[in-house]
Structure 1
Amino acid sequence: MTALRPAPTPSASIAPRRRRPAAGLVAALALVALLLLAAAWPAVLATHSPTANDFAAALEAPSFAHWFGTDEAGRDLYSRVVWGTRESLLIGVGAATVSLTLAVLLGTAAALGGRLLSGAVGFVLEVAFAFPALLLALLFVAILGPSAWTQVLAVGIGTAPGYARIVRAQVLAARSSAFVEAAVALGHPRTRIVLRQILPNALRPLVAIFALSIGQSIVWASSLAFLGLGVAPPSSEWGALLDAGRAYITRAPWLVVIPGLVIVALALAATSLGGRLRMALETGEKA
């Protein structure tokens, strides 16, 4: 009679599996890396000069000679998209920075200020949040005039109220946490508790929100440019390309479709990376 062998433990029978990154995450990282390369060294990726006119080749469809086709002046659309990456990303990052900076200031004041300050800031946030972000952006563009800096300020201010409410909720949750109560019981100064306990824990999710905000800001800035309230021609910023191409949308639809797809692809990539980063932060907090 053979001796019974002990049953293998789960750790011995089941080998640990390495998690492979999802295809969507790999595609998002590859696209972001390609766009960063285009922003830093556009001459490496561009095939033509973005400002060279060739009226004999005007409004040519995408081909081997012109991958994205040409515009009304015969300029290579692919090269213009590549050279416009830097300006588009700067507008997106700048607007996201303005938005989250205002959100942190207003959200923290609404959560930690006195009764009068908290009530006033909370009222302002509720009123601002009731207006569509695009309407607020249009208001600032109408006051300041169309330009790249106006786009940054308009989109940043227009999207700040929504993020400020998130910051306010995070700060309130951190203020009522056990480690803050312990710090108060130990007699730590209020300033030290705010700077070392509340804000670092409350603002941690903003790292992921910043990535999401970049894609959203580029979409909003492109919307303003499409309405003729963005960077003036002959800029190759993506929104400006949309604005210039809409006059030829029936004759040369690639002038609008291709820049629009690039904007959508970047927004999806930023959303994917922001979501992954948020999940990673939440997993780290739970661990």
Structure 2
Amino acid sequence: MTTALPRKPAHHERTSPTRRRRRVSWSLITAIVFAALFALAAIAPGVLATDDPTAQNFADALQSPSLTHWFGTDEAGRDLYSRIVHGTRESLLIGIGAAGIALTAALVLGSIAALADRVTASIVNRIIEVAFAFPSLLLALLLVSILGPSPWTQVVAVGVSTAPGYARMVRGQILSAKNAGYVEAARALGHGWWRILGRHVLPNAIRPLVAVFTMAIGQSIVWASGLSFLGLGVAPPSSEWGALLDAGRASILQAPWLTFIPGLVILVLALTATTIGTHIQNSLEKGR
């Protein structure tokens, strides 16, 4: 009888776990570096900026990216790189504010939907489902058209329009925590419901929101920039990234970098927030 030789692991089986860990590590390090740069630009833009973002020099108008102007210049000869750096603070504040509104509303609605009496929970659930079924972009556009375009309108519109999806997630987290084994054990030990709610249910339901909040910042900035690009957000000559997209639209054929580069910066920030948020989420799940 012949003895079967042990199967040699396939190449991807031998290398994929190590490569995956290395890839995650490098992606996280890269995201942290970009996050640090964005934070520095928001806190102290003068450290990174090379020019005055408002200084006009029509002789240098619409210059392509070069060693003198890294991201080129706009129609007024203003340095695009410096304008992006100085616009970081406003863009981040809009993203953080919108994410904060969305998750606060989601926490309130999701908690009521999961913990209230049957009639109240049913009503709130219907409200969440109807709002979730309504296209978020249309809801944001509706709110902006009613309230009028402004930075604060952007924050409210993006926050309210994205809240229903997060509310469903919060409701699911609380219901899952309510039915967990440790809650049943606490009840068996005679602990009161409010003590169980405060010490077990809500902490375990809210903990994942740390990761969600990080990812929501990037998403909110993308949404707010989209509103500005449609002319319903912060108006030029603001350096907010969406306003830069809107301003560059008029010269997109002659100077495509005015639209492409701000859009790329928005994409990088969204990917940075998503990468860090995903890592936080994975760490929380491993720590359970």
After TM superposition, the score normalised by the length of structure 1 is 0.91
Code of the residue aligned with 2:245 in structure 1: it is L
Given candidates 265, 275, 279, the residue that maps to 2:278 is 275
Given candidates 180, 183, 206, the residue that maps to 2:183 is 180
Partner in structure 1 of residue 253 of structure 2: 250
Partner in structure 2 of residue 22 of structure 1: 25
Given candidates 177, 193, 198, the residue that maps to 1:195 is 198
Q: Does 1:142 align with 2:148?
A: no
Given candidates 58, 61, 69, the residue that maps to 1:58 is 61
Cα RMSD over matched residues? 1.2
Code of the residue aligned with 2:32 in structure 1: it is L
C-alpha distance in 2 between matches for 1:188 and 1:116: 26
Give a deviation string over 1:93-149, Cα, whole Å, max 9, x none. 111111000011000100000111100000001100101211111111011111111
Give the stretch that moved more between structures: 28-37 or 191-200.
Answer: 191-200
SS at match of 2:130: helix
Deviation at 1:232, TM superposition (A): 1.8
C-alpha distance in 1 between matches for 2:191 and 2:27: 46
SS at match of 2:287: helix
SS at match of 2:68: coil
Code of the residue aligned with 1:125 in structure 2: it is I
Partner in structure 1 of residue 158 of structure 2: 155
SS at match of 2:94: helix
Code of the residue aligned with 1:224 in structure 2: it is L
Q: Does 1:165 align with 2:168?
A: yes
The aligned length equals: 268
Partner in structure 2 of residue 116 of structure 1: 119
Deviation at 1:188, TM superposition (A): 2.7
Code of the residue aligned with 2:70 in structure 1: it is W
After TM superposition, the score normalised by the length of structure 2 is 0.91
Partner in structure 2 of residue 32 of structure 1: 35
Deviation at 1:216, TM superposition (A): 0.4
Partner in structure 2 of residue 206 of structure 1: 209
Partner in structure 1 of residue 101 of structure 2: 98
Deviation at 1:192, TM superposition (A): 2.1
Given candidates 41, 44, 50, the residue that maps to 1:41 is 44
Percent sequence identity over matched residues?
A: 64
SS at match of 1:22: helix
C-alpha distance in 2 between matches for 1:138 and 1:44: 36
Code of the residue aligned with 1:119 in structure 2: it is S
C-alpha distance in 1 between matches for 2:286 and 2:42: 33
Code of the residue aligned with 2:202 in structure 1: it is L
C-alpha distance in 2 between matches for 1:65 and 1:56: 14
Deviation at 1:182, TM superposition (A): 2.5
C-alpha distance in 2 between matches for 1:191 and 1:246: 55
Code of the residue aligned with 2:159 in structure 1: it is G
Q: Which runs of 5 or more residues in structure 1 are unaligned?
A: 1-16
Code of the residue aligned with 1:147 in structure 2: it is S
C-alpha distance in 1 between matches for 2:183 and 2:169: 19
SS at match of 1:210: helix
Deviation at 1:274, TM superposition (A): 0.9
The 5 Å alignment of 1:260-271 reads: 260-271=263-274
Partner in structure 1 of residue 234 of structure 2: 231
Q: Which runs of 5 or more residues in structure 2 are unaligned?
A: 1-17
Give the stretch that moved more between structures: 56-65 or 254-263.
Answer: 56-65
Give a deviation string over 1:151-189, Cα, whole Å, max 9, x none. 111000000000100000000000111221222333333
C-alpha distance in 1 between matches for 2:189 and 2:128: 34
Code of the residue aligned with 1:259 in structure 2: it is P
C-alpha distance in 2 between matches for 1:153 and 1:185: 44
